[in-house]
Structure 1
Amino acid sequence: MDRTRRWLTDLAANLDQSAELVDRGREAFDADPAVRLAFEALGNRVGDLCNRLIAADPSRFSDPIWRQAARNRDFLVHHYDRVDEQALWVTVSVSFPELRERLETYR
């Protein structure tokens, strides 16, 4: 398996994990700090994989959603002390499913 396919497979797995956490509901996200930290970790992984894909094939991964995920990762990593919980919830519950849906056209 080439690295791009491996990264796409890893990205799908991480997006699927995030969907499982979202299925626990907003109440679980608000009540359990471990869920919020998991969302941050998944944001880091998803963004890192998007960065790799963009670097490997910029023309194939030119849709703005790839850069948005990569920028989100940079913010989470470098400004973790300023993460807005509402924005984090929206990223994982809305943007990640959109990315997951688009991912199928790249596999």
Structure 2
Amino acid sequence: MNDDERIGRWLEALALILDRAAALAERGEEDFHADPALPLAFEALSNRVGDLAKRLIHADPERFRRSEWRAAARHRDFVVHHYDRLDEALLWQTVTRGFPELAAMVDQERRDAR
């Protein structure tokens, strides 16, 4: 598999993960704080988003140079290594504000690749 195919596969996976995050976020902030499973799900999704962002940056640093890609990777590192210090309000904002912006970038990358 060449780099373009690998990048395409990672973008596809990232789009799916971001869609799942959006579906969970649609439950609303009240459910997010009331259901202990939702913050944990958001942590897991943040890990996957950040991991894929890291792979994309590594595969093509010029193409994935925008700060949003690096922010996703850094957020993943914080979630994974400092989960005991996570702020639920910040996690909610990341998934409801940052992830949709990243999803738009993923969609644009996928369109540009066609």
Please give the range of the TM-score, normalised by the shorter of the 2 chains. Answer: over 0.9
- Length-normalised TM-score, structure 2: 0.92
Quote the Cα distance in structure 2 between the aligned partners of 1:51 and 1:61: 9
Length, aligned pairs only: 107
Unaligned runs of 5+ in 1: none
Residue 103 of structure 1 and its aligned partner are, at CA, apart by 1.2
Matches within 5 A, 1:18-97: 18-97=21-100
- Cα deviation, 1:4-58, whole Å, max 9, x if unaligned, reads 1000000000000000000000011000010110000000000000000000000
Quote the Cα distance in structure 2 between the aligned partners of 1:92 and 1:52: 20
Quote the Cα distance in structure 2 between the aligned partners of 1:93 and 1:105: 19
- Cα deviation, 1:63-101, whole Å, max 9, x if unaligned, reads 100000000000000000000000000000000001001
The residue type paired with residue 30 of structure 2 is: E
Quote the Cα distance in structure 1 between the aligned partners of 2:17 and 2:92: 16
Quote the Cα distance in structure 1 between the aligned partners of 2:62 and 2:104: 19
Quote the Cα distance in structure 2 between the aligned partners of 1:98 and 1:6: 20
Unaligned runs of 5+ in 2: none
Root-mean-square deviation (CA, aligned residues, Å) is 0.8
Q: Which residue number in structure 1 is paired with residue 109 of structure 2?
A: 106
Instruction: Give % identity.
Output: 60
